[in-house]
């Protein structure tokens, strides 16, 4: 049995779907059972658990042999780094004594030790915690989520403006949830003792200009990139309702994202879902929600 943390989010759901398509038994861990009704209909078992309930998590983990350890993102309205460290501690404690034979940890490109660098720091701590356990552990490092562009779709459709924290011509590795799900499923079905670190991204690397061009075609109207300069990053995050600590952390993460080197393509698992195909599906969905 494969246990999937965060099973109703973008990546967890894609991982569950990829495993189910392979005929693998899956248990999806969620806080709200109704959000997993579609996965239940496809054959997944559903376990309702609070990520902070370490004993409850351990009881769920004991029902399976392999765990996809995804640390759910914390609300930026509070102190997300502190909250995510709490959930990491709970996950690591729950794994101890669980009887799991293999773990796949979900992380990110550029994960490293540091403070006020958002997921780059907290997911590095997750990696190190998992690798320190006496259980074979593989790590899946994800490129920039294509889903992150979804918050900009409505403004692009309505006003022809694509806001971004990246320079318009900055080329970035991006990945769709489906490709991450496939990569995670591969790692989850490896032989128990096989340990790998996999960097996963889409078939190409893209710029914000590429995103704007794709949206221009999809909306049949010009879409221009509006890049927020670094000196305004923190105040912009604050305007979104982020806490001061979250704004500082997200700004630090963004600074690293635009300066750190990308993995060499020879070391990368390339997926199949391109940016245009992803945005076309996302904009179709957003139109439906808007009209509904």
Domain ranges across the chain: 2-142+176-201+263-272
CA–CA separation, 60 and 57 (whole Å):
5
**Residue 288: pLDDT over 60:** no
Q: Which residue has the tokens 């693998």?
A: 24
Average pLDDT over every residue of 99-120: 94
Question: Is 90 exceeded by the pLDDT of residue 132?
Answer: yes
In this prediction, residues 266-286 reach a mean pLDDT of: 87
Nearest-CA neighbor of 72 among 63, 57, 216?
A: 57
Helices assigned H by DSSP within 50-200: 54-61, 80-95, 119-131, 153-159, 177-188
Q: What does the pLDDT read at residue 191?
A: 93
% residues pLDDT > 70 (the chain): 97
The whole-number average pLDDT for the span 122-127 is 96
Q: In the predicted model, what is the mean pLDDT of residues 10-37? A: 91
Q: What is the pLDDT of residues 58-74, one digit of tens each?
A: 999 999 999 999 998 88
Q: Name the residue with tokens 């780094």.
A: 81
Quick count: other Cβ atoms within 10 Å of Cβ 213?
Answer: 18
CA–CA gap between residue 46 and residue 58 (Å, rounded): 15
The tokens of 142 are what? 């994800």
Contacts of 23-32 with C-beta under 8 Å, sequence gap 24+, read: 24/185, 24/188, 24/189, 25/1, 26/1, 26/2, 27/1, 27/2, 27/3, 27/60, 27/63, 27/64, 28/4, 29/3, 29/4, 29/5, 29/57, 29/60, 32/8
Neighbours of 184 (CB within 10 A): 28
> Of 31-45, 127-141, 182-196, which gets the smallest average pLDDT?
31-45
Question: Is pLDDT above 80 for 285?
Answer: no
Which superfamily, per CATH, for 2-142+176-201+263-272?
NAD(P)-binding Rossmann-like Domain (3.40.50.720)
Does residue 35 surpass a pLDDT of 90? no
Answer whether residue 16 shows pLDDT above 50: yes
pLDDT of residue 292: 25
pLDDT of 267: 86
Confidence of residue 181 (pLDDT cuts 50, 70, 90): very high
Enumerate the β-bridge partners of residue 107.
Answer: 141
Q: What is the mean pLDDT of residues 68-84?
A: 92
What integer pLDDT is reported at residue 32 of this predicted model? 82
């Amino acid at each position: 049995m494969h246990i999937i943390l965060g099973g109703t989010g973008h990546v967890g759901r894609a991982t569950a779907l990829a495993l189910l398509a392979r005929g693998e038994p899956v248990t999806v861990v969620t806080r709200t059972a109704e959000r997993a009704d579609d996965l239940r209909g496809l054959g997944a078992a559903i376990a309702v658990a609070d990520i902070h309930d370490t004993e409850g998590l351990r009881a769920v983990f004991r029902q399976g042999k392999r765990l996809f350890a995804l640390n759910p993102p914390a609300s930026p309205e509070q102190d997300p780094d502190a909250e995510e460290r709490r959930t990491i501690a709970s996950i690591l404690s729950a794994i101890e004594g669980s009887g799991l034979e293999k773990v796949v940890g979900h992380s990110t490109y550029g994960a490293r030790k540091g403070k006020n660098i958002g997921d780059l720091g907290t997911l590095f701590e997750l990696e190190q915690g998992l690798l320190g356990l006496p259980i074979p552990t593989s790590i899946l490092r994800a490129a920039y989520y294509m889903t992150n562009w979804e918050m900009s779709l409505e403004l692009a459709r309505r006003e022809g403006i694509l806001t971004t924290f990246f320079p318009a011509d900055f080329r970035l590795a991006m990945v769709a949830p489906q490709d991450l799900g496939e990569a995670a499923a591969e790692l989850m079905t490896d032989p128990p003792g096989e340990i790998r670190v996999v960097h996963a991204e889409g078939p190409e690397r893209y710029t914000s200009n590429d995103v704007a061009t794709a949206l221009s075609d999809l909306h049949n109207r010009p879409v221009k990139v509006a890049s927020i300069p670094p000196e305004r990053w923190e105040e912009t995050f604050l305007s979104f309702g982020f806490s001061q600590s979250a704004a500082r952390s997200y700004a630090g993460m963004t600074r690293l994202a635009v300066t750190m080197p990308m993995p060499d393509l020879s070391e990368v698992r390339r997926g199949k879902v391109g940016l245009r195909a992803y945005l076309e599906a996302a904009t179709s969905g957003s139109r439906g929600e808007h009209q509904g």
